[in-house]
């Protein structure tokens, strides 16, 4: 909603309750980096697929 201009970041606490906050484990940095690299790889491959799907008229 913020990205669409319907509210500001400062308005978010009015609409949600934060129950937990998680901090990354510094000892797992190498794992996080490997997983993020895989995420980027998946994103790059899916980007072309979704572009094709969104350009096709199925109606």
> What per-residue confidence (pLDDT) applies to 20?
93
Q: What is the pLDDT of residues 7-45, one digit of tens each?
A: 999 998 899 888 999 999 999 999 999 999 999 999 999
pLDDT digits (tens, 9 = 90+) for 41-59: 999 999 989 888 888 776 6
Per-residue model confidence (pLDDT) at position 46: 94
Locate the domains of the chain by residue range.
25-59
pLDDT at site 23: 95
**pTM, full prediction:** 0.53
| CA 30 – CA 36 distance, rounded (Å) | 10
The SS3 assignment for 47 reads helix
Does 3 have pLDDT greater than 70?
A: yes
């Amino acid at each position: 909603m913020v990205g669409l201009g319907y509210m500001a970041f400062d308005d978010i606490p009015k609409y949600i309750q934060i129950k937990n906050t998680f901090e990354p484990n510094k000892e797992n940095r190498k794992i996080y980096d490997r997983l993020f690299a895989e995420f980027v790889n998946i994103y790059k491959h899916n980007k072309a697929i979704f572009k094709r799907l969104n350009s096709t008229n199925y109606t």
